[in-house]
Every structure is written in C-alpha cells, then in structure tokens.
Amino acid sequence: MELLSGADMIARFLKDEGVEYIYGYPGGAALHIYDALFRQEAVKHILVRHEQAATHMADGYARATGKPGVVLVTSGPGATNAVTGIATAYMDSIPMVVLCGQVASHLIGEDAFQETDIIGVTRPIVKHSFSIRHPSDIPTVLKKAFYIAASGRPGPVVVDIPKDMTAPTERYEYVYPKKVKIRSYNPAFRGHGGQIKKAIELILEARRPVVFAGGGVITGEASDALTDLAKRLGLPVITSLMGIGAYPQNDRQCLGWPGMHGSFEANQAMHHADLIFCVGARFDDRVTNNVAKFCPTAKIIHIDIDPSSISKTVPTDVPIVGAAASVLNEMLGLLGDREKDVTTREQQLAPWWERIDAWRASRAGRLYEPAAQGELLKPQQVVEAVHRATQGDAFVATDVGQHQMFAAQYYKFNKPHRFITSGGLGTMGFGLPAAMGVKLNFPEEQVVLFTGESSFQMMMQELSTCRQFGIAVKIVNLNNQSLGMVRQWQDLNYKARHAQSYMESLPDFHKLFEAYGFKAITVTRAEELEGALDEAFRDTNEMVFLDIHVDPREHVYPMQVPLGAMNDMLLSKTERT
Amino acid sequence: MRHIISILLENEPGALSRVVGLFSQRNFNIETLNVAPTEDASLSRLTVTTNGDERIIEQITKHLNKLIDVVKLVDLTEGAHIERELMLVKLKAVAGAREEIKRTVDIFRAQIVDVTPSAYTVQITGDASKLDGFLQAIGPASVLEVVRSGVSGISRGEKTLSL
C-alpha cells in the first residue's frame, strides 16, 4: 500500500493515465500540486503566459490527437482566465480536463483571496464538473473526469481542488483506478439495428443524396468507414467546417463544406438533395441559414452519439443514436449483402453528378482574381501557395475571421485531425496556442498558423512560451490592417462605416519577433511570396513569422444571404445566385 | 402543452443548479419545481412542470438526460398519472365571511389548520387546477398570502421510476 498526499496523487495519477504534457500557470491555491510536479519527471509542465493559452494549447493537442488535453490553473483569476478556452472546447466537443486550484475548504464562501466559484462560473460550458471533498477521492474523481471528457460526445471537465485537499502533511492510500463506473452515464455505442436498415434503404433509393459529415466523424475516428461507404455508393460528400479532413478533399466526390461561406457546389447540392445523410454534425445556424427554407426536398438521416443533437434545429426522418464508426461499419457490413444494388448505383446517380459537376464548373476559375506583379496579394492566393509549399500535409491552425474562412476554403485537407479551428465559439486568439499544442506533440511535422494581425495580438504573449520550450510554428499573418470579417459585414450592412474595425498603430512585427529571438519576413508584393515561403518552410524547427500584406478590400465569398435558403448566396461583390 | 417531468437526481451538491441552469441556459420554461430526498439517501426526486410543443419537450428531456447527475427521468404526462400539489393560504376571515369561508373549505375538502380572530390558514391538496379553483371561489379580496409546493407526481399502476 502506497501513501501519498493529495498533490502527489494528482501527479501520480496523471502519469498513470499516460499524460505527457500539461499546460498551466501556478498560483497560491495550486502550489502544493506544483511542488508535487516539481518532484517528478514523467509529466512535463508547459508554462504559458496567460491561462487562456493553456486551455487552447490543450485544445490544439486534443484536436490533433483525439486524446484529452490537460490544464492546471490556480483559483480565482487563474480559473476565470481559462473560461474562454473551456467554452471554446465545449462548443466544439473537445476532450479536456481542467484542474483548478481553489481556496482551502474552510474559506470557501467567505470571499477569500483569489476565491471564485469556478464550478458555478463554468457550469453552462462544461460537460461535467467535480469538487474534491476528501483527498482520498482524488484518484476516482480524476478517473471519472478523464472518462467523461473523452467518451460519448467529448467535452471539457473541470475539477475544483481546494488547497487543503493537496496538503503535503496528509497522506492516503493511492491505487490507480483502471476503470470507473458512473451509474447515470452510459454513452450510446451501437446504433439501433432497425434504424440502420431503414437508413440503408433510404440511401439506396435516393436519387440526389449527399453525405454531410461533421466533427463527430473525426472525434469518433470514423473517417475510414465514412470514406469506404461513400466510395462504395458513389455518394457526394460535404463535410462541415469541423468535419474538414473527415473525407479527402482531393477526391472528386468531395464538394467541400457548406454554409455561410461554404462552397457554391456544397450549398447547391445540399439545397437540392432528396436525402441528407448526416454523420456527427449538428445543423448549426452557420450551416442551415434560414431553417424554414432549409433543404425543402430532403429527407434526413442523422447519426449522432448525442441524442440531443438530433432534431434540435431541423427535424430528422431517421435518427440513429450511436458512435459514428460503429454505425458506419455496421452499414458497410449490411451493404455486403446488397452487392447487386450497389453496382447499379452509377447509373442511378449519373444525372445528379451531372448537376453537381455543372455547379462546380460554373464557379471554377472565378472564385477570386489573383494579384499581378507589383500588387498586394490576395489572401486566397497566399493560402493556395502555402498549401503547395507544405504539400497539403501540414497541421493547419487558424484564428478567427476572414483568414480562417480563406484557410478552410483554399487549403485542401486529405486527413482528419489536421485542421485546427475554433468553429463553434469563434475564439480570436485561439490559433497561436492551439498551433503550439500541436507542434509540441508532433515536433517533426509542419505546423502552420493562419492568422490575422488582430487575432494574433490577442495571444501574442505566448511567443515567450515558444521561446522557452523551443516550439516552432510557421505563422502566416494575412495582414489587411483591419478586422477583416467585421469590416466585410460593415461594407455589406452598414454602408461601409468601419466602426472600430481598423487596426491603427500595429507593432513593427520584425522588431517584435526579433525581441523574442525569432525570424520575421515581410511580403508586400505578389512576386515576393514564393521566395518568402521557400525561406520560411525550409526548416521545420525554425519559428518564422510571415507578415504578408494582403488586399484589405477582399471579401469572403460565397456568402449566404441572411434569412435565405442554403443556396441564396452572394458570389462576389456584384454577383448573386 | 403542459408536461410534468419527474427526475431521479444524484443527491450531490450542485446537482440541482445544473438542472435549473439548463432551463435558463436553453431558454426552456419552468412553471413549478419541487425537490426532496427519497427513501434512497443517494437520490433526490425532482418534479418540474413545463410548457412547450413536442419538439421543445423532446429537447428538454434529452438535455436533462445528458446531465451526468440525472439518473433517470419520465414525462408523467405521457401516461396515466397522479398529480398533487399542496397549498397553504392565509385568508382574511372576519364577521360573516368566516362562515362563508368555512363552507367553501368544506366543499373543496380543504382544512383550516390555524385560526385567529381575523384570519384562517387553510391547507388544501389536489391538482393544480383544483387549487386554482379554490382561490377563485374564495375571491382575491380575502387572500392574504399563498404558498404552493409545486406539483409532485407519480404514475398510475405498477410502473415505477426507480433504479
């Protein structure tokens, strides 16, 4: 029997759970835990410069690996600084465990120094939360936290740890709990057999089907099964923004992503479909546009591990509650017996593919006008050039705004877990720490951050963390000297009154990066781009900031018309569907 | 339509706030809420009455089920059920009104549980509409104070909501 203090139990549990990195920032209420971490070597702690960055780093790691990211912060301001990152993870169903120090039990409720009811503050943005009430509970509670965070529909779990629970003087028996059972929590796994058969019938009958794959396919590690199924049946595949990479984008059957800034062909195909076969997406408002006009002729099959996602915004005809991989594999198995139906598919879907190809062809080569020599670059062509420079195989993180949409539109992903973006919450400042979390765990891979000068300045203090831990991210700053997406909306809806969307007094990024010991390259004209990219991507382990001045007048298109159907789109400043 | 949702909840600190928070967070409506321990010390029984169309009620029950602290729930209004609410009412009772109130109390099978020279305190149980009916019969002029427990309910027959 081994006796450990609460703090040592936490350090030991993290090791036994296989956690390699935790991201955090010390403070009074967490000091016993920090001391325990100091006295061991298995779990490495990454010191951030702001707790929000710790949560985004853990989040980036979780998105790239599928495993829960772990954060350690102190009570009060440490915990409240983590809130935005917790909300970001919650909205995108990212597994995360956040350990928060708390004032000692006897002080709780007395407005003690650095006391915040963080369980209360985070209640609407966590999958679940725990307060430790006895040190001997620590191993079981932590196991439950990791289990809940990573299973079912993943999400962040907060564990509040009063300082006296980690006191070095009190020791209790420690046993690593290999398994844990929670009587009120049994996430669905296998889908209902009858519903699965019904879904197959609908798919085989459909004349204008589309697959709509969301982030659930990536978290559920179901990309292979989805790809097999779509290939086998010749189905057009649309992925949500969160589902990018769930199906290879270089494949002809992939139509891109739908919604507000989705591709023309994806929005047209979804609107005209007679069947939407949705796997692990949630039909949010940025996809559906006006729900009343959403896909008027489509029946909907919806596979989701979370029953509350089904029929939340649009009614579903065939709901299937289950894990994506399990349900899709079961479907593949059943299709094995239907070989005859499967082989006549090509003929059945030929007219549908003709229409899709026509939509695709109608926009080809007309998406944007690349800059000529001597001109300011277009942001879209920068993304395309970065895609070429990285052979389309980098991990790509983004911040939020126009650059995020351009990155999603023009970087083509062929693998899951590679596109790291804050889709649901739309958190500016997410990108740099998220990219750092990825790079730390994939040191040999190229990790690119597409950002804008506004988003970047929200978290740029983390350059210091990059320096301390030798984290090398390729930062592509699409510098338009404005809050591009805000400016775009102001152009369209406020007669170009640019209220507070112009970033005056930008820092000299060269000097800024130099101060941290990093390289910066500025590109102001189109012809400088290729050379700059060659230089920037030469060494995977060199931090480089590419400050690329782009045309600030550029808008993101297509753009759905507010209150319209999916296929009501602005296609450029002058064209509309 | 009005629904009565009955919930078995882990008897943990903060569990109730998760349920209540869910309703405000998702813009669902709570008409009455009643919560108390059960014969099993680890569980509380909670009854919510709420309003909404089929889609909203479906979302409410799905989201409640998603809360880790919710062990089981049933929408009692889906089947035959018994609904009860307790109300305590303090009434102004002077002169001739005392007899009239006494008669109304008898008609509604209520009980007078406290008496002063100028006031009665009445206890009445029943479904929500019976309680509403009593208040209407007494008339607003006599009512000094109303305390209602909120609805609690149980299904008819052998069906139970238990572990």
Domains, in order of start, for chain A:
3-173 (3.40.50.970), 193-363 (3.40.50.1220), 379-556 (3.40.50.970)
Judge whether residue A74 has pLDDT over 80.
Answer: yes
Q: Which residues of chain A neighbour B10 with C-beta distances below 8 Å? A: 184
CATH of the domain at B41: 3.30.70.260
The verdict on residue B158 lying in a domain is no
- Is B61 found in the same domain as B9? yes
| Lookup: tokens for A49 | 């410069």
Distance between CA atoms of residues A479 and A454, nearest Å: 9
Residue B141 lies in a domain: yes
Please classify residue A154 by burial: count the beta carbons closer than 10 Å to its beta carbon, then call 0-12 exposed, 13-18 middle and 19+ buried: buried
DSSP states along A480-521:
-SB-HHHHHHHHHHSTT--TT-B--S---HHHHHHHTT-EEE
For residue A367, name the pLDDT band (cuts at 50, 70, 90).
confident
Mutate to test the interface with A, among B66, B70, B71, B163 (most CBs of A within 10 A): B66
Most A CBs within 10 Å: which of B62, B64, B69, as the mutation test of the A interface?
B62
Four-point Cα dihedral A214, A217, A218, A223, nearest 10: -120
Q: Once rounded to an integer, what is the mean pLDDT over residues B109-131? A: 96
Residue B12 in contact with partner chain A when CB distance is under 8 A:
no
Residue A150 has pLDDT above 80, yes or no: yes
Intra-chain end-to-end CA distance of chain B, in Å:
29
Mean per-residue pLDDT over chain A, rounded: 96
| Closest residue of chain A to B21, computed from CA coordinates | A124
Which residues from A are below 8 Å from B25, CB to CB? 124
Contact flag A124-B21 (C-beta cutoff 8 Å): yes
pLDDT at B44: 97
pLDDT given at position A343: 73
pLDDT average, residue stretch A454-481: 97
Do B17 and B45 share a structural domain? yes
Q: How many CB pairs under 8 A join A and B?
A: 37
Same-domain check for residues B9 and B64 = yes
Active site residues of A: 51, 113-114, 163, 485
Based on the fold, state whether residues B74 and B118 are members of the same structural domain.
no
Q: How confident is the model at residue B57 (pLDDT cuts 50, 70, 90)?
A: very high
Per-residue confidence (pLDDT) for residue A365, from 0 to 100 = 77
Give the pLDDT band of residue A263 (cuts 50, 70, 90).
Answer: very high
Answer yes or no: do B68 and A148 touch at CB < 8 A: yes
Q: Which residues of A touch B18 (CB under 8 A)?
A: 123
Residues 6+ apart with CB under 8 A from A1: A173
CA nearest to B56 within chain A: A312
* CA dist B84 → A136, A307, A344, B39, B151 (Å): 43, 31, 62, 19, 6
Q: Which positions ≥6 away from A370 have C-beta within 8 Å?
A: A378, A380, A381, A526
pLDDT in tens, A235-259: 999 999 999 999 999 999 999 999 9
Instruction: For residue A422, give the DSSP letter.
Output: -
Look up the CATH number of the domain holding residue B113.
3.30.70.1150
With CB atoms and an 8 Å threshold, state whether A308 touches B13.
no
Closest CA–CA distance from residue A430 to any residue of chain B (Å): 24
- Check whether residue B86 and residue B62 sit in a common domain: no
| Cis-peptide into A68, omega within 30 deg | no
Do B7 and B75 fall into the same domain? yes
Q: Report the percentage of chain B scoring pLDDT > 90.
A: 96
Q: Nearest CA to CA, how far is B116 from chain A (Å)? A: 42
Return the residue of B nearest to A153 by Cα.
Answer: B66
The predicted structure's pLDDT at residue A1: 74
Q: Which residues of A touch B (CB under 8 A)?
A: 119-120, 123-124, 127-129, 131, 148, 182-185, 306-308, 311-312, 315
Closest chain B CA to residue A186: B68
Per-residue pLDDT reduced to its tens digit, A532-549:
999 999 999 999 999 999
Residues A378-427: pLDDT tens digits? 999 999 999 999 999 999 999 999 999 999 999 999 999 999 999 999 99
* Judgement on whether residues B71 and B86 belong to the same structural domain of the protein: no
Best residue in B19, B25, B68 for a mutation probing chain A (most A CBs within 10 Å): B68
Distance CA A117, CA A108 (A): 9
Cβ atoms of residues A544 and A520 within 8 Å: yes
Contacts of A291 in chain B (CB under 8 A): none
**Whether residue B124 is found in the same domain as residue B95:** yes
Q: Is residue B51 part of a domain?
A: yes
pLDDT at A188 > cutoff 90? no
Please check whether residue B159 lies inside any domain of the structure: no
Q: CA A361 to CA A103: how far, in whole Å?
A: 62
Tokens found for residue A75: 């009570």
Task: Centre a 10 Å sphere on the Cβ of residue A135 and count the other Cβ atoms it contains.
Answer: 24
Token couple for A535: 């230089």
Q: Measured between beta carbons, which residues in chain B are less than 8 angstroms from residue A157? A: none
The answer to whether the CB atoms of A129 and B62 lie below 8 A apart is no
Contact A306 B65 (CB under 8 A): no
Coil, helix or strand for A151? coil
Residue of A119, A120, A184 lying closest to B10 (CB–CB): A184
* B72 shares its domain with B111: no
B163 to chain A, any CB pair closer than 8 A? The answer is: yes
Among all residues of chain B, which has the CA nearest to that of A125?
A: B25
Q: How far apart are CA A265 and CA A285, in angstroms?
A: 19
Q: In which residue are the tokens 């382990």 written?
A: A541
Is there a contact between B2 and B51 (Cβ–Cβ < 8 Å)? yes
**What is the per-residue pLDDT for A337?**
78
Q: Does residue B40 form part of some domain?
A: yes
User: Are B70 and B87 members of one domain?
Assistant: no
Tokens of A248: 């290879």
Cβ contact (<8 Å) for A306 and B66? yes
A184 CA to chain B: closest CA distance, Å? 4
Determine, for residues A308 and B21 on separate chains, whether the beta-carbon distance falls below 8 Å. Answer: no
pLDDT value at A340 more than 80:
no
Whether residues B111 and B71 share a domain: the answer is: no
Counted residue by residue, chain B has a size of 163
Segment (H or E) for A427:
none
- CA–CA dist B27, A534 (Å, integer): 53
At A525, is the secondary structure helix, strand, or coil?
coil
Contact of B10 with B69, CB cutoff 8 Å: yes
**Residue B42 touches partner A, C-beta closer than 8 Å:** no
Residue B161, domain member (yes or no): no
**Residues of chain A by 3-state class (helix, strand, coil), percent to 5:** 45, 15, 40
User: B63 CB near a chain A CB, below 8 Å?
Assistant: yes
Expressed as residue numbers, the domain containing B21 is: 2-79
A99-131 pLDDT tens trace: 999 999 999 999 999 999 999 999 999 999 999
Rounded CA-CA distance B35/A345 in Å is: 57
Helices (H), A421-497: 431-441, 453-458, 463-469, 484-493
Between chains, do B68 and A182 touch, taking CB under 8 Å as contact?
Answer: yes
Q: Helix, strand or coil for residue B75?
A: strand
Residue B107, classed as helix, strand or coil, is helix
CA distances (Å), origin B2, targets A411, B18, B54 = 51, 22, 10
Collect all residues of chain A within an 8 Å Cβ-Cβ radius of residue B55. 311, 315
A533: closest CA among A415, A439, A446?
A446
Q: Do the domain assignments include residue B157?
A: no
Tokens of A271: 């609107």
In angstroms, what CA-CA distances link B88 with B37, B82, B102, B112? 21, 20, 15, 10
Last residue of a domain, one of B34, B56, B79: B79
Nearest to A17, CA basis, from A189, A174, A154, A203: A174
Choose the mutation target among A184, A302, A304, A305 for the interface with B, i.e. most B CBs under 10 Å.
A184
Mean pLDDT value across chain B: 95
CB contact under 8 A, A182 and B69: no
pLDDT of residue A345: 83
User: What is residue A44's three-state secondary structure?
Assistant: strand
User: Where is the domain boundary, B55, B79, B103?
Assistant: B79
Q: Which residues of B touch A312 (CB under 8 A)?
A: 59
B14 to A308: CB separation less than 8 angstroms, yes or no: no
Listed residues B63, B79, B95: the one ending a domain: B79
β partners of residue A131: A160
Indicate if the pLDDT at residue A156 is higher than 90: yes
CA distance B127 to chain A (A): 31
The answer to whether A185 contacts B163, with C-beta atoms less than 8 Å apart, is: no
Number of folded domains that form chain B? 2
3-state SS assignment for residue A143: helix
Beta strands at A96-102 and A156-162: parallel, antiparallel or unpaired:
parallel
Measure B14 CA to nearest chain A CA, in Å: 8
**Does residue B147 lie in a domain region?**
yes
**Mean pLDDT computed over B123-129:** 96
CA distance A305 to chain B (A): 11
Do B22 and B51 reside in the same domain of the chain? yes
Put simply, whether B53 touches A (Cβ < 8 Å) is: no
User: What length does chain A have?
Assistant: 577
Query: What is the average pLDDT across A502-523?
Result: 93
